[in-house]
Amino acid sequence: MGLDLMTSSFLGLRDKLHHIAMRYLQSDEEAQDALQDTWLRLSDKGAVATSQEARNKLVAVLRNICIDRLRKARTVSINSINSSDVPRYNMETEDIERFEQILQQQLTPLQRHIFNLVAHEGYDYEQIAKSMSMSVEAVRMNMSRTRKKIRETLKMLDQ
């Protein structure tokens, strides 16, 4: 009886379901495919007790299928991206050395040390706090100040 109820609900709601799919997908062919996928997905699932339950399942599954199709349409294969379209910023070796010198002058020794541990050594804040007998908040604050000085320095170099 559950399959009959699902079938009758699907046939009764087919036009409404098609309209819902069209609003999501904007294509009649895609909407028809989404309806077929909805039916195939629900025909295997088992019985439903009421027509309201069947309606709710049909609408929910159709909505999820439409969203999945929209997501797939937005994704782009990494192989299809033209590497010449990707913006690149190449810093010259001299620029990098100049940037590091400016940073060395602006950062305190503690900030330099914490920055090196985080950026180059891969330590997390808890590990640094333990090894330096500091609170985690103090480590976070020093990293925040370091990042701010890095941003200011980069902004200054761009001008």
pLDDT at site 79:
62
In this model, does residue 85 exceed pLDDT 80? Answer: no
pLDDT for 98 beyond 90: no
Asked if 22 and 5 touch (Cβ cutoff 8 Å), the reply is no
**d(C-alpha 31, C-alpha 18), whole Å:** 6
When pLDDT is cut at 50, 70 and 90, the band that residue 33 belongs to is very high
pTM: 0.48
Q: Across all residues in the chain, what is the average pLDDT?
A: 83
CB 21 within 8 Å of CB 61: no
pLDDT at 1 (0 to 100): 45
For 118-135, how does the pLDDT look when each residue is reduced to its tens digit (9 = 90+)?
Answer: 887 888 899 999 999 999
More confident residue, 138 or 90: 138
Measure the CA angle with vertex 63, ends 49 and 15; round to 5°. 75
Residue with the bigger pLDDT between 88 and 142: it is: 142
What integer pLDDT is reported at residue 127 of this predicted model? 92
Contacts of 66 (CB under 8 A, 6+ apart): 20, 21, 24, 25, 34
**CA dihedral (73, 74, 78, 80) positive or negative:** positive
